[in-house]
Amino acid sequence: MDLFNLEELGKLLTNYAPKVVGAILTLVVGFWIIGRITHMLRKSMEKRGIDPTIRPFLGSLVSVGLKVLLLLSVASMFGIETTSFVAIFSALAFAIGLALQGSLGHFASGVLLLIFKPYKVGDLVTIGGGFTGTVNEIQVFNTVLVTLDNKHIIVPNGVVTSNVMTNISGQGIIGVEFTFSIGYAMDIDKARNIILQVGKECPYILDDPAQGVVVGAWGASSIDLASRPFCKSEHYWDTFFYMNENVKKAFDKEGIRIPFPQMDVHLDK
């Protein structure tokens, strides 16, 4: 009996020892390679400037996926049927994908935003079908905006990428659109000079490109003067409010009347 057990043990060692050694070597080398791949991925994400909040998540995701594949490969070296494992994992992945379809879409959109960077933290943007504000944070699933009145707007990344995105401050300098209406009886050149003078006094407006004032349209009861002074992106709202207030004050001081809706009634006796 003892001799039989020794013979069986010898056969088992002969049959499985190379497989065990090969599996151990495969695991050691495989884990080393996976570590190198994960390290290179994280370095690449750092060089590309991908948001630090998502780097560990993506690195862990790739590492876990590669380790699962490695373990399945090692199991197949012992003759273990891995088809059933793959089928179970596929079914689980399919079920989870259906349950988290919307969230996974937002996640994928967040990854694309972080890679291609159509905007960054601090940019003034209009995204998600009309939400305007300063980008406060780009999360995995959402983009957080801060509005002028300090409200936080949380826009799902899937909504962002499926709509038109306008990066208002993406170029560093920006033109601020203005329309100043004056009455038909007012002097256009005088009103133009007043607007240009206010622009020169504005501490935020740049000299280059120079501000201009043109007749934009003939309205029903007014001449509309259009102007587009340029400023640094971070001074957009400062310029907007400064010009609106001070042009009105200068018009009042110089007697430039601003038209308002009115009706002339003629009575026949």
CA dist., res. 49 & res. 56, Å (int): 13
User: 217: which strand partners?
Assistant: 224
Cis peptide before 209 (omega within 30 of 0): yes
- Residue 232 in tokens: 């640094």
Q: If you average pLDDT over residues 64-70, what whole number do you get?
A: 79
90 vs 136 pLDDT, higher one: 136
d(CA 66, CA 63): 5
Quick one: pLDDT at residue 16? 65
Full set of structural domains in the chain with CATH: 2-99 (1.10.287.1260), 118-167 (2.30.30.60), 173-254 (3.30.70.100)
Q: Does residue 190 have a pLDDT over 80? A: yes
Quick: pLDDT tens for 110-167: 777 777 778 888 888 888 778 888 888 887 778 889 887 788 888 888 888 888 888 8
Give residue 188's pLDDT.
Answer: 93
What pLDDT score does 246 carry?
95
Tell me the average pLDDT across 22-49: 82
Q: Kindly indicate the confidence band of residue 204, based on its pLDDT and cuts at 50, 70 and 90.
A: very high
Max mean pLDDT range (39-48, 138-147, 235-244): 235-244
User: Is the model's pLDDT at 259 over the cut of 70?
Assistant: yes
H helices within the chain, ranges in order? 2-47, 55-77, 83-99, 101-116, 157-161, 188-201, 236-254
Q: Residues near 27 by Cβ (< 8 Å), separated by ≥ 6?
A: 70, 74
Check residues 77 and 236 and name the one with the higher pLDDT: 236
Q: Please enumerate in sequence order all residues whose Cβ is within 8 A of that of 226, keeping only pairs 6 or more positions apart, or say none.
A: 177, 178, 179, 213, 214, 215, 216, 217
Q: Looking at residue 179, what is its pLDDT? A: 93
Q: Of residues 236 and 56, which shows the higher confidence score?
A: 236
Q: Which pTM value belongs to this model? A: 0.52
Look up tokens 């989870």; give the residue.
96
Give the confidence band of 262 by pLDDT, cuts at 50, 70, 90: low
Q: Mean of the pLDDT values across residues 31-40? A: 86
Residue 100 has pLDDT above 50, yes or no: no
Quick one: pLDDT at residue 83?
65
**pLDDT at residue number 76:** 73
Mean pLDDT of 168-173: 78
pLDDT of residue 8: 66
Confidence of residue 205 (pLDDT cuts 50, 70, 90): very high
pLDDT value, residue 1:
46
- Both tokens of 40, joined, read 């290179």
The residue-averaged pLDDT of 197-226 equals 91
In the chain, % of residues over pLDDT 70 = 75
Is the pLDDT at 49 greater than 80? The verdict is no
